[in-house]
Amino acid sequence: MSEPVEPAKRYLIRTFGCQMNEHDSERIAGLFEADGMTAATDVDDADVVVLNTCCIRENADNKLYGTLGHLKSVKDRRPGMEIVVSGCLAQKDQEGIRERAPYVDLVFGTHNVHQATELLHRSRAEGPLTEILAETVADDHELFPSAMPAHREHGHTAWVTIQIGCDNSCAFCIVPAVRGGEISRPFDRLVHEVADLAAAGVTEVTLLGQNVNSYGRDLTLAARQAGDDVRVRPLFADLLRAVGAVEGIRRVRYTSPHPKDLRPETIAAMAETAAVCEHLHLPVQSGSDRVLAAMHRGYTAERYLEKLAAARAEIVDLAVTTDIIVGFPGETDHDFEQTLALAAAAEYDSAYSFIYSPRAGTEAAELVDRYVPADVIAARFDRLKVVLERSALAKHRDRIGRVEEVVVEGPSRKDPSVLTGRTRQNKLVHFASAEPLRVGTFAEVEVTDAAPHFLRGRLLEVTASARHRTRIPVAAG
C-alpha cells in the first residue's frame, strides 16, 4: 500500500524542571523520531511544539503560561502548528490547562509519555485532547522509561531512570501527587540498559530517582550464589556497584538520595566503585529540627551532619551539594539562623536555595496563617546566599593547583574560544585548547583559578577521545 508522502513534521520540545523531565523529553523526542518526525531548531520552523512542564514551584507555572501566551501568537500566524503540554503541571492541572489556554491541542500527563505519538495522532484526527493516566499502568514501567527509544542531548552521557515516583510525604512537595508512588525498574534490566549505552559509546550515566536510596524496596532479586535460592531485594548500593562495573562506563552519578535513607552500604559502594563520582547531592531543606519535623523529613540537623561526616570520612575528595528551602510556613528567625549554621557547618561545594512556594494539595500549603512574609523571606534568602557562596568559593580555592580529570562539554557559553569540561566532583572548568576537542573527550586539566560557580584551568593532556557517534541535539529551554 502506498500513501502520499508528506514532508516530515518538525518538532521542538522545551523542557522545564528537573532531570526526570529532561529524560522524559528525550523519550518523547525518541518516539517522535521513530514516527518519522525530525527536530526543528526553533519555534518558527516547528510543526509541533511540546512544553514538558514542571510544577514543583510556582514560578514554573508562571513560566508555562507565559510561554503558552507567546506560542498563541505564533499559532495565530500559523494555524497548523500543534501545541502539546506534557509533564507534571499537565498531571496537576489536567483540563485546567485547556480551560486557560484553549488553543492547546494535546495535554498528556507524566504516566502517558509512552503514548506520546499515539495521542498526537488522535488529537489530529479527533480534535483537542486531554489524556491523564492517574497512575503508571501495570506494564508501563516495562516500557518505562529508558527502554523506550530516547534521543539524547549529549552522546557521551545518558540518564537512566531507576525508579519513578516517591513514597515520602514531605509537607511542601507536590511530587508524590504528580509522579505517584515509588516503582523501581528491574535490576537486571537496568544493568543491561547501561551495557547497551556503553556499547553505543556512552561513558557517563546518571541514575535518576526521587529517592534513589529506597531503590528496590518493591523488588526482589534471586541471590546469585550457586545453589542459593534465597530471594533478597537489591539495594541501591548493589546497583551502583553493578553499573560501575559495566565496561566502558567511566563515570556514574545519581540524584537524589534522601538523607534519612542514606545507608552505610551506599557510602561504601561509592567509596569502593572507581567509576562512581565523588559527588553527593544530599538535600537538607532546613537546618532547624523544628522545621525538619514539620516538613516530615525524618532526620535532625545533627543526624544529617553525622551522615555527611561518615560519607566524607570514607569517600576521598567528596563534593557535597544540597537543596535548601527558605521560608517554610512557621520558619522563625531562630529557625533560619539554624539553617545558616548548618549551611556553614556542612561546607557545601554548591547549593540550590529555593523560596518556599505553596503548592495546592500539599500539607504545608494549608498553613496559610503561618506563611512567612515575602520581604522577610527575601532578606533571609540573600543572607543564605552569602554563606553558600563563601563556602563554595573556599572549596573551589582549595582545588587550585590540583590536576583534575574533565570531560569536555563543549565551548564555553561566554567565550567560544574556551572549552568547558566537568570534573568528577561535578564542577565546571573553563580552559583554553589550541585545537577543538570533541564533546565527550577526557582530558587532564590543572586548576588555576576559582570562582563560586566554576573553576578555570590549563589543559595538560587529552587522555581519551570521545567514543560516541555525534547526534543532533534536542532543544531544551
Residues 173-202 vs ligand 5AD: string with x where CB under 6 A?
A: x-----------------------------
Query: d(Cα 53, Cα 342) in Å, to the nearest integer?
Result: 32
359 binds ligand 5AD (CB under 6 A): yes
Among residues 47, 278, 323, 444, the one that binds ligand 5AD under rule CB under 6 A:
323
3-state SS string over 136-197? Answer: CCCCHHHHCCCCCCCCCCCCCEEEEECEECCCCCCCCCCHHHHHCCCEECCHHHHHHHHHHH
Partner in contact with 354, chosen from ligand SF4, ligand 5AD, none, beta carbon below 5 to 8 Å by kind: ligand 5AD
Residue closer to ligand 5AD (CB basis): 180 or 283: 283
* Cα atoms in the 13 Å half-sphere on the side-chain side of 6: 9
210 binds ligand SF4 (CB under 6 A): yes
Residues 54-83 vs ligand 5AD: string with x where CB under 6 A?
A: --xx--------------------------
Contact 149/34 with Cβ under 8 angstroms? yes
Binding segment toward ligand 5AD, per CB under 6 A, in 3-11, 90-98, 335-343, 352-360:
352-360
Among residues 110, 163, 211, 321, the one that binds ligand SF4 under rule CB under 6 A:
211
Query: d(Cα 469, Cα 472) in Å, to the nearest integer?
Result: 10
Q: Which of residues 160-199 bind ligand SF4 (CB under 6 A)?
A: 166, 168, 170, 173, 175-176
Partner in contact with 371, chosen from ligand 5AD, ligand SF4, none, beta carbon below 5 to 8 Å by kind: none
Contact 120/106 with Cβ under 8 angstroms? yes
Partner in contact with 32, chosen from ligand SF4, ligand 5AD, none, beta carbon below 5 to 8 Å by kind: none
Is residue 70 classed as helix, strand or coil in its secondary structure? helix
Q: Which residue has the cell 529557625?
A: 335
Contact 17/88 with Cβ under 8 angstroms? yes
Residue closer to ligand 5AD (CB basis): 379 or 432: 379
Task: Report the first-to-last Cα separation within the chain, whole angstroms.
Answer: 40
Residue closer to ligand SF4 (CB basis): 48 or 294: 294
Q: Is-cis flag, bond preceding 256, omega within 30?
A: yes
Chain contacts with ligand SF4 (rule: CB under 6 A): 166, 168, 170, 173, 175-176, 210-211, 258
Binding residues (CB under 6 A) for ligand 5AD: these are: 56-57, 172-173, 283, 285, 323, 325, 354, 356-357, 359
